[in-house]
Structure 1
Amino acid sequence: MKRSPRDSADSQRRITRRGLILGGAQAGIMGLLALRMRYMQVDQADKFRLLAEENRVNIRLIPPARGEIFDRNGAVIARNEPAYRIVIVREDAGNVDDTIRRLSSLVELDEDELNRALTEMNRSAPFLPITLADRVTWEDISRVAVNAPALPGITPEVGLSRVYPLNADFAHVVGYVGPISDYDLERMEDPDQLLRIPRFQIGKVGLEAKLEDQLRGKAGARRVEVNAVGRVMRELDRREGVAGSNLQLTVDHMLQNYVQARLGEESASAVVVDCESGDLLAIASSPSFDPNLFVRGISVADYKDLTNNTYRPLASKSVQGIYPPGSTFKMVVALAGLEAGIITPEDTYWCPGHLEVSGRRFHCWKGSGHGHMNLEGSLRESCDVYYYELSLEVGIERIAAMAEKLGIGVRHDIPMSAVAQGLAPTKAWKREVRGEDWLIGDTVNSAIGQGFVLASPMQLAVMTARIATGRSVTPRLIKSVDSVEQPSGAGESLGLNENHLRQVRRAMFSVSNNRRGTAYSNRIIDDAYRMAGKTGTSQVRNITTSERARGVTRNDQLPWNRRDHALFVDFAPYDNPKIAVSVVVEHGGGGSAVAAPIARDITLQALFKGDPPLETYPEKDRGRIKSQQEKLRQLRPIAESQGKSRA
């Protein structure tokens, strides 16, 4: 059947419209393909050129320079120095054992380090360089270079290594670095690729570990051309890394060095806090150790000597050690009683030498008793019964709240390892932790800083600074990061009654300056520098009824680890507090006899920023102090030389 002209025209129009649509779609697709091709060939040319070359171009990381650490005056505490090392590339060495044998005839190789290198070599790619000897001398490097043809795969290199020029003085504060281990990598969720470099050094303990990310910096990279088996043929380009941040601490290295020397061989610690800013001017633990031993990997013998030492040189006692604060805690109880309105400074309690509570006798250190005691007298002469009586009226909840307000039972945020929280116990704490009800005897024990109460030397220094200023002084260890000043720890008002604080300060002044005070023999006689303090002696053993009946055994007649801890806290000058000090001597005996003399010397050294005039000491002590100063100066040659080269 023949189609009409009209049908033919309609059909033609439909075909034309479909052709236009199809042609338009094809043109659109072609346009998109053209734009995509331009994007890939022009805009992304560099990326795809690199992808095309990946079989012959590798990216190698460049370790950044680790940030350096300085004291408050610019003296170097931790720095990087060039270190020569000898490395081996297994694929180039041929017979590795034979090559190492020839090398050992030229350079002395440490057996432990060599075994470590062989272990790394067996689990690493054959083209990766492995360190055989680190920190070798220039003479060793020269011998290797001269004999290079006979030492295939052996290359002398220069890199950066960590050095602690002040040796043991800052070991517990700064810590140390060491080669990264499998254990370190396992603890990290997403380790930086930089950490995959064999024997890359990271912070292990202390500030080096706590601020590892800031100190490490960011890796650079170099693009190298390699052959089919991965051997580097030439370097194509290089992008240097970003060095780690430089840190300036609040600590004065000269004072720190003095404190370490003054603590001597005692198992002890001391903390000095700037009352205005909260700066930690010194924070020392004794005995200490040389952190440089750990940088390359400490020997088994050296490590065993440290771990077997009864005085625990590896422990950071100033922040990690927690002790019953003994009578230094009495200021807390006194302020809790004053703030609660339970006592006034004139109110007295009768001390017959003991107090009967629930059928148990709690003794005062003075067996014959002190008689009537008011607030000032109780602190001055450290009467225990006064605080037994007061604590029963105040209650443990108020005492614990005041302790936390003054910084005890609080984990202060400073970048050191294992900073302890201490303990200001409450009824709820004992139920939760011990599953027991609080007893009235627990309150009595807490009143004199025994029982469950625990505090670190740093917390005791903070407590003293807060009493001296009435502000929530917060310890600060980092003064600046890359020259940017960090927030002050001056703190706001504690909200305590100023008259109550004044009464407690006056009583602490009597401790050191009244003839009946427990620290009178260790006073400062210069009116401009007089200190206010408090002695403390905390028991580490129970004294039985039978022992008390026949006479309590003297500390010097007991084994060292059963003797009392000796404590002392102070602030000075009394009229214008600038520093607060705490000293704890483990198993030292009495606080007045052992800790107070150390604290007095540290206080004067901090105030005078060097050896104080002999006239600040009681006349009877000046000959001994002069000899002591001369002896301590001989122990500080490294710190003295650092002081002359401050930045």
Structure 2
Amino acid sequence: MRKSPAEVGESHTRLTRRALLLGGAQLAFVGALGLRMRHLQVDQADQFRLLAEENRINIRLIPPARGELFDRNGVVLARNEPSYRITMVREDAGDVDDVISRLATLVELDPDDLDRAMTEMRRSPPFLPITVADRVSWEEMSRVAVNAPALPGITPEVGLSRYYPLRGDLAHVIGYVGPISDYDLSKIENPDQLLRIPRFQIGKVGLEGKMENNLRGKAGTKRVEVNAVGRVMRELDRREGQPGDDVQLTIDQQLQSYTQARLGNESAAAVIMDCQSGDLLAIASSPTFDPNLFVEGISVPAYRALTENDHRPLAAKSVQGTYPPGSTFKMITALAALKEGLFSPDDTVWCPGHLEVSNRRFHCWKRGGHGHVGLTQALRESCDVYFYQLALEVGIDKISAMSTKLGLGIRHDLPMSGVAKGLNPTRDWKAQVRGESWVIGDTANASIGQGFVLASPMQLAVMTARLASGLELQPRLVKSVNGVEQAGAAPQTLDINPTHLDQVRRGMYAVSNHRRGTAYGSRIIADEYRLAGKTGTSQVRNITAAERARGVTRNEDLPWNRRDHALFVNFAPYDTPRVAVSVVVEHGGGGSKAAAPIARDITLQALYGGTPPLSAYPSKDRAKIEEQQEELDRLVPEREITRRNRA
């Protein structure tokens, strides 16, 4: 049916109105969109340009070079050396197994390291490089570089890693570094972002751990351009970080290496201290270990071998080990009694071989006794009864106070792990710690360095240096940091009567230089280097009355771990003391037999600055000493000695 003209016009009018409305809406939308685009592209252009730039540019940390360690003469003790490694980027490699197989024909791949690398690769983004072989040789690096076209995704890289050229000679002093762990991070409040770099090396124990903040340095930064998925496209610029501080120790490397070798396979420790400055010239613990094993992570079998060794090679016995000091403590008892004016050096005590105290018999080491003895003879022949009698008169509190004055019972401030405090027992200590009253027998035991008294070889060296010098010396291990001397305050004069010190020193001189002295067999013949010392033997087991009646079992007939500890302390030269020495041989038996010869030898090594002439030894010992010196030369391996560049 045809529409009338009126109807057609009305329909046209409606269509036109709708078109206008639709067109207006479209125009408004386009206009709003245009305005929005103008706002984004013009008004906010700078802001979005900055955001885009930040998304394109990443800031990454550059690990700093760790500070190096040197001995007092500039010999390198711990250095950074190039560490060659092979990395793989999974997305570039394609068939990972095939590439690894080709790589294995060029480089020896450790199965454990490879398993760890494959695990890291599976859980890491495909564009991140993963180390598949670490500490490879230069020859292996070269082979990989030459065959690079056949090894997609493989890159040879070079970094820095810690190396200890003296191996075990200073392991207990310096310690070692190792890859940082989650446990390490958990102990640090607000850790430096540098510590979050995978396998970043930090100091674990020893000086490396205690001076970590000095040695670590500050990170540098580099700006790299990355694509949309985070892959590095190119490096834009870099700012190098600040290397760690170089640290110079007071240790004499030559003396340290000799001391370590002289201790041999004994479970032992020795400390050598300068009698004027307090500088520690050598700190040795035996047996030792190679700290390089820990740098990249020690194997389970190698670690088990160290921990299951009954001689405890991982323990720094020189500062961590505490032992009853035995007769090396007798100088302290004597000085306490002299200070109180209870005895003079000429007063004598009758020694029948024992002393009855509260219905208990305290024995002298010499079963038949020493007869009438004064101070010099009591020290020279180590009469126990003499010191029992002094102690009963003076009391434990005065003895403990004198012990503290001479450096025992104090945790000396040294950058080493587990520095022990030792123990100077008192009445209050026993009541608080053990809940028991002090008895007179405790005082008798303490007077000869037994009972509750404990001291480390380090403390015994400090005690001896103070006796020798009359100064309140503090042990010092760090000589300088970045060339800046780290000297402390000048030592004060000890608050001990100098006459009393002289009287005790004369007794120590007689120990080594009188024919009846307990260390006469380990004397020094050279007049200018005569030493003064004191032997010590500390029991580690109780001797019953029945055993005494039938005869005390010889140390040689006992299992190793039930034998007495052997100790010796000395200073030399007697007239002008330069060095103080302490030696402890665990379960070594008698101090005169096991510890004194070692102490004499390292004392001569320190005084002569190298191998001493045979003329310094008693003539009857020279053939044996010559043979020993030759053997030590063979035992001490060739050292990779380098020195600080002084240019």
Taking structure 1 as the reference length, the TM-score comes to 0.90
Q: What is aligned with 1:342?
A: 342
Q: Deviations over 1:599-636 (max 9, x none)?
A: 00010000000011111111101111111111112223
Query: Would the alpha carbon gap of residues 430 and 127 (structure 1) be closer, same or farther in structure 2, given more than 3 Å must change?
Result: farther
Q: What is aligned with 2:617?
A: 617
Q: Deviations over 1:451-498 (max 9, x none)?
A: 110000010000000000111111100000001011147521111100
Quote the Cα distance in structure 2 between the aligned partners of 1:446 and 1:272.
Answer: 26
Shift of 1:293: 1.1
Letter in 1 for 2:307: T
Tell me, yes or no, if the aligned pair for 1:563 and 1:589 is still in contact at 8 Å. yes
1:462-611 to 2 correspondence within 5 Å? 462-488=462-488, 491-611=491-611
Query: Would the alpha carbon gap of residues 129 and 506 (structure 1) be closer, same or farther in structure 2, given more than 3 Å must change?
Result: same
Q: What is aligned with 1:239?
A: 239
Quote the Cα distance in structure 1 between the aligned partners of 2:281 and 2:315.
Answer: 20
Letter in 2 for 1:455: A
Q: How many residues align?
A: 602
Quote the Cα distance in structure 2 between the aligned partners of 1:277 and 1:138.
Answer: 45
Query: Would the alpha carbon gap of residues 48 and 487 (structure 1) be closer, same or farther in structure 2, given more than 3 Å must change?
Result: farther
Quote the Cα distance in structure 2 between the aligned partners of 1:251 and 1:586.
Answer: 24
Q: What is aligned with 1:392?
A: 392
- Is the deviation greater in 537-546 or in 436-445? 436-445
Q: What is aligned with 1:75?
A: 75
1:47-196 to 2 correspondence within 5 Å? 52-196=52-196
Shift of 1:266: 0.6
Shift of 1:180: 1.1
Q: What is aligned with 1:34?
A: none
Letter in 2 for 1:375: L
Shift of 1:95: 4.2
Q: Deviations over 1:235-283 (max 9, x none)?
A: 1110001100001110000000100111111111100000111000000
Query: Would the alpha carbon gap of residues 361 and 121 (structure 1) be closer, same or farther in structure 2, given more than 3 Å must change?
Result: farther
Shift of 1:286: 0.6
Shift of 1:143: 2.7
Q: What is aligned with 2:219?
A: 219
Q: What is aligned with 2:641?
A: 642
SS in 2 for 1:518: coil
Shift of 1:387: 0.9
SS in 1 for 2:599: helix
- Is the deviation greater in 530-539 or in 429-438? 429-438
Tell me, yes or no, if the aligned pair for 2:70 and 2:644 is still in contact at 8 Å. no
Q: Deviations over 1:413-462 (max 9, x none)?
A: 11111111111111111111112111211111111101110000010000
Shift of 1:51: 5.2
Q: Deviations over 1:187-215 (max 9, x none)?
A: 21111111111111111111111111111
Quote the Cα distance in structure 1 between the aligned partners of 2:426 and 2:216.
Answer: 42
Tell me, yes or no, if the aligned pair for 1:78 and 1:164 is still in contact at 8 Å. yes
What value does the CA root-mean-square deviation take over the aligned residues? 1.8
Shift of 1:309: 1.1
Shift of 1:124: 4.2
Quote the Cα distance in structure 2 between the aligned partners of 1:80 and 1:372.
Answer: 63
**Structure 2: any 5+ residue segments left out of the alignment?**
1-42
Shift of 1:597: 0.5
Letter in 1 for 2:128: L
Q: Deviations over 1:523-578 (max 9, x none)?
A: 11111100000000000000011111100000000000000000000000000000
Query: Would the alpha carbon gap of residues 105 and 365 (structure 1) be closer, same or farther in structure 2, given more than 3 Å must change?
Result: same
Q: What is aligned with 1:14?
A: none
Quote the Cα distance in structure 2 between the aligned partners of 1:646 and 1:336.
Answer: 51
SS in 2 for 1:314: coil
Shift of 1:102: 3.2
Between Structure 1 and Structure 2, whose CA radius of gyration is higher?
A: 2
Tell me, yes or no, if the aligned pair for 1:473 and 1:489 is still in contact at 8 Å. no
Q: What is aligned with 2:13?
A: none
Shift of 1:502: 0.6
Query: Would the alpha carbon gap of residues 420 and 368 (structure 1) be closer, same or farther in structure 2, given more than 3 Å must change?
Result: same
Tell me, yes or no, if the aligned pair for 1:474 and 1:490 is still in contact at 8 Å. no
Q: What is aligned with 2:264?
A: 264
Quote the Cα distance in structure 1 between the aligned partners of 2:285 and 2:261.
Answer: 11
Quote the Cα distance in structure 2 between the aligned partners of 1:607 and 1:596.
Answer: 16
Query: Would the alpha carbon gap of residues 76 and 219 (structure 1) be closer, same or farther in structure 2, given more than 3 Å must change?
Result: same
Shift of 1:645: 8.7
Q: What is aligned with 1:30?
A: none
Tell me, yes or no, if the aligned pair for 1:278 and 1:489 is still in contact at 8 Å. no
Quote the Cα distance in structure 2 between the aligned partners of 1:257 and 1:48.
Answer: 65
Q: What is aligned with 1:254?
A: 254
**Structure 1: any 5+ residue segments left out of the alignment?**
1-40
SS in 1 for 2:85: strand
Q: What is aligned with 1:210?
A: 210
SS in 2 for 1:203: strand
Tell me, yes or no, if the aligned pair for 1:130 and 1:198 is still in contact at 8 Å. no
Quote the Cα distance in structure 2 between the aligned partners of 1:141 and 1:521.
Answer: 58
Letter in 1 for 2:55: N
**In percent, how many aligned pairs have the same letter?**
72
Quote the Cα distance in structure 1 between the aligned partners of 2:482 and 2:586.
Answer: 38
- Is the deviation greater in 125-134 or in 402-411? 125-134
Letter in 2 for 1:160: L
Quote the Cα distance in structure 2 between the aligned partners of 1:92 and 1:416.
Answer: 46
1:403-442 to 2 correspondence within 5 Å? 403-442=403-442
SS in 1 for 2:641: helix
Q: Deviations over 1:30-56 (max 9, x none)?
A: xxxxxxxxxxx9xxx9x9976552211
Quote the Cα distance in structure 2 between the aligned partners of 1:222 and 1:419.
Answer: 41
Letter in 2 for 1:466: R
Query: Would the alpha carbon gap of residues 473 and 124 (structure 1) be closer, same or farther in structure 2, given more than 3 Å must change?
Result: farther
Query: Would the alpha carbon gap of residues 588 and 50 (structure 1) be closer, same or farther in structure 2, given more than 3 Å must change?
Result: farther
Quote the Cα distance in structure 2 between the aligned partners of 1:361 and 1:49.
Answer: 93
Shift of 1:126: 4.1
Query: Would the alpha carbon gap of residues 125 and 377 (structure 1) be closer, same or farther in structure 2, given more than 3 Å must change?
Result: farther
Letter in 1 for 2:431: R
Query: Would the alpha carbon gap of residues 552 and 489 (structure 1) be closer, same or farther in structure 2, given more than 3 Å must change?
Result: farther
Letter in 2 for 1:525: I
Quote the Cα distance in structure 1 between the aligned partners of 2:631 and 2:452.
Answer: 40
Letter in 2 for 1:384: D
Letter in 1 for 2:571: F
Tell me, yes or no, if the aligned pair for 1:57 and 1:223 is still in contact at 8 Å. yes
Q: What is aligned with 1:8?
A: none
Shift of 1:94: 3.7
Shift of 1:405: 0.7
Quote the Cα distance in structure 1 between the aligned partners of 2:368 and 2:504.
Answer: 25
Q: What is aligned with 2:33?
A: none
Shift of 1:122: 4.4
Quote the Cα distance in structure 2 between the aligned partners of 1:516 and 1:128.
Answer: 75
Shift of 1:646: 8.3
Tell me, yes or no, if the aligned pair for 2:76 and 2:643 is still in contact at 8 Å. no
SS in 2 for 1:318: helix
Q: What is aligned with 1:330?
A: 330
- Is the deviation greater in 138-147 or in 478-487? 138-147
Tell me, yes or no, if the aligned pair for 2:74 and 2:643 is still in contact at 8 Å. no
Q: What is aligned with 2:31?
A: none
Tell me, yes or no, if the aligned pair for 1:476 and 1:489 is still in contact at 8 Å. no
Letter in 1 for 2:309: N
Quote the Cα distance in structure 2 between the aligned partners of 1:123 and 1:212.
Answer: 31
Tell me, yes or no, if the aligned pair for 1:254 and 1:643 is still in contact at 8 Å. no
Quote the Cα distance in structure 2 between the aligned partners of 1:285 and 1:491.
Answer: 27
